[in-house]
Chain A
Amino acid sequence: MKTMNEQRLAELENDLNAIRDEVLADLGERDARYIRRIVRLHRGLEIGGRVLMPFGFIPPVFIAATAALGLSKIIENMEIGHNVMHGQYDWMNDPSLHSQTYEWDTVCTSASWRRTHNYEHHTYTNVIGKDRDYGYAVLRLSDDVKWHPGHLFQFINYLMLSVLFQWGVGLHELESERLRRREITWKSKLPFLKEFFAKGGRQAFKDYVFFPLITFPVAPIVLAGNIGANLIRNLWSSTVIFCGHFTQDAETFTEQECENESKGHWYLRQLSGSSNFTGGKWVHLLSGHLSYQIEHHVFPDLPAHRYPEISGKVQAVCRKHGIHYNTGSFAHQYGTVLKRILAFSLPDRLRVRLPVQGLNQAT
């Protein structure tokens, strides 16, 4: 990470706080209208997808229904659920859009997500050993983790994680790696497991039992479409999230680096540990504006649709302080993610001989 003295860090903090204050002062009607419009879009797509699905014996209808349901899940998880749970719309005082009461349409419970994501990941972003989102305890993505032969197959693990992403996220709080190492007991995880099975059960019941059953003669079609919709959502959200922190230039940090850090230092870490990707309006909406991961990590509780508006200002602050603003096309950023997963599956002495730029040095 770029080093800055405390005075420069304080200046960075002030520059970013100024951007934040400006947005906060401007929040109002426009933001409320925006999120309500997105909620209507989600309801429309979900209802449309569910109604069309039983007619999926007509192939184009099957595709349309699956796509509508998949898109509805993506929008609900990314632009509504994730952002609402960050408290981006708490100021509206609307219980249906409040961070503490919102329950989203995925296996992970909102309470678990607020603990593992809002708290752990956003506080200890990319700190190896503390941010359990970094590699999700199944992937080796930096040489801070010692290589072992199992890592050779990590690309398969990656694919499995992506396919079953909502279940992986749901189980994140189980801390399976610490259970394996016997640092914690299964007994201490019982309350969490109870929550997990209740929510996971509800999600599975809805898509794999209830909706297929009530459309009995065409149940297999509805079941297939629902599986397809969940798969689309899982692959897309996993891909977006991997592009946010595991690209070529996204930095990692050690616990020592972050001890007693100032707010300015925390800002610097968010700026250098996150990465954006570019794209059209739809790409931003469907990624919940996590295409602006840098802005999101610096200001997790500002309404996400504001990120494109403030991105120029954040970039100007980065230029002023000589901080790399990690962005690129979706294809480029995702390409470097895949390279990283592959490169770190190899032992270090092989990896450093690879002609993969940026991954040869310790990150």
Chain B
Amino acid sequence: MKAKLLGLLAVVLAVSMIVVGCAPAPTPQVVEKVVKETVVVEKPVEKTVVVEKQVVVTPTPGKPQPKGTLRFALSGEPNSLYIPATADKNADIAASQLYDPLVFQDDDGTIVPALAESWEVSKDGTEYIFHLRKGVTFHNGEPFTADDVIATWKYGMGEGSAWPDRYSIAKSVEKIDDYTVRVTTDGPKPLLLVTMHDFWSIIPNEYMEEVGLDGFQKHPIGTGPFMFVEWVKGDHITYQANPNYWREGQPRVEKVIFRFITESSTRVAALTADEIDLTKRLTAEEADQLLSVPGVKVIQYPVARIFYIAFNNLTTGKGLPTEDAKVRQAMNYAVDVDAILKSLFGGAGKRAAGFVASSELGYGVVKPFPYDPEKAKQLLAEAGYPNGFEIDMACPTGAYSHFEEVCQAVAGYLGKVGIKVNLEFMESAHYWDLEAKKELPPLFGDSWADESGEAYNRLKGALGGWDAPYSSWSDPKIDELLDAISKEVDQAKRKALYEELQVYMQENPPFIYLYEPYTFEAMRDRVMDYHPRASEMCYLNKVWLAMPE
């Protein structure tokens, strides 16, 4: 009986091996290339064909026709394509391609004209006059005017909006004439233009009145480079190029299809099998694996997110050694973040120099704390704790990649300088509930992202004392500087304030600063001019395909 079973297994194995052996080897592409080259060399007459091909590969100057279909895999399904209701990055990416804001934030963070050709700001920074671009039409042919700006602002604060604060940042929006709009705020709002870029995607007033919010959600319309075609729930969204787009020569692909693939290893497989062109949010291991796949490019960049271990001085940390700035400095010197990055992330991360990310305004004034356990011990002794002390720390599980191990490593490093850490892991939903109630232990790990190109929201959110739900820290000097930043409209002056704050936060660290993570994306090598941002956002108006079908 056993022999029979073994025999059968052997047959199954042999058949599988034959099947595997029959599978195409991953080399024919090389052979194809050789053949093409041979044709050119043997028949110089056919050189014209090659030239034609080169024309396709190189973007033609002037007015290129949009060509090809870009298949973009998102890590989840957008909740909505109506910008005031978008809940996450997937929704932001998909939705933003349909609209234009009044002002646009360039890849380098500069605010440039979009649907507003120019604008003036009053001296006190509370009044903005926008001069609108003429001759722009929405996808349904409706012309873009000042009424649409007012409608966008009103709808953004109304029913169905998840982010009313992003619109109520303006006290009023008034029409001066069809192509001039006055936006007033009740005090200087330095982040107004950035907020407008992120959220004020202009929607057509008349169409919205005609179909209502539900109708708009089913068939969204903007002035953007792409027009909505269909949304098959759970599966994909299709757009097609807007032939009347106001930016000359854009968009450059004819069709965009967003596919929703939650599982990152499936996205890797789909990219390898050439079923998608572009995907985001891969792990370092997956990116590494894709490096050897022919026809695939991998990119990595730091995300505007900072990981940290927070100190609490509002509730559970009261009266503890961590109230002494020297102790907090010592704890920063005690942790070898580079070693953590190297061992857990294969070096795919950047050591945080403070609470301002490397892509944000005012970065670069302070250097990260070097790993110096001797200095840490010396500072602890100076603070009166030569033998260290014992402290509780918490860490969320399942929230961030490898973060449990990061917390363990931090606890281990602190132990080496005499600080005994009692580490507790908690389920992330429960963790954030306790964090909001300020009931976590005196030390706890977390991270905070920001997309505005400035660290203000992150700083305010984590250091805003009792006013901010997820904050655990209060420092009058920090409050004062944050208040100044929130009122300063001049970008250079705001930069100086960020720098002053960072220097202060180096001397009086409210966190053990850990790292900015890298994110990995991969694409077929025919995808050109694709530029993602530190916020993980991307705009597809300039993207083109080197080999359209």
Partners in one complex: no
B residues neighboring A (CB under 8 Å): none
A residues neighboring B (CB under 8 Å): none
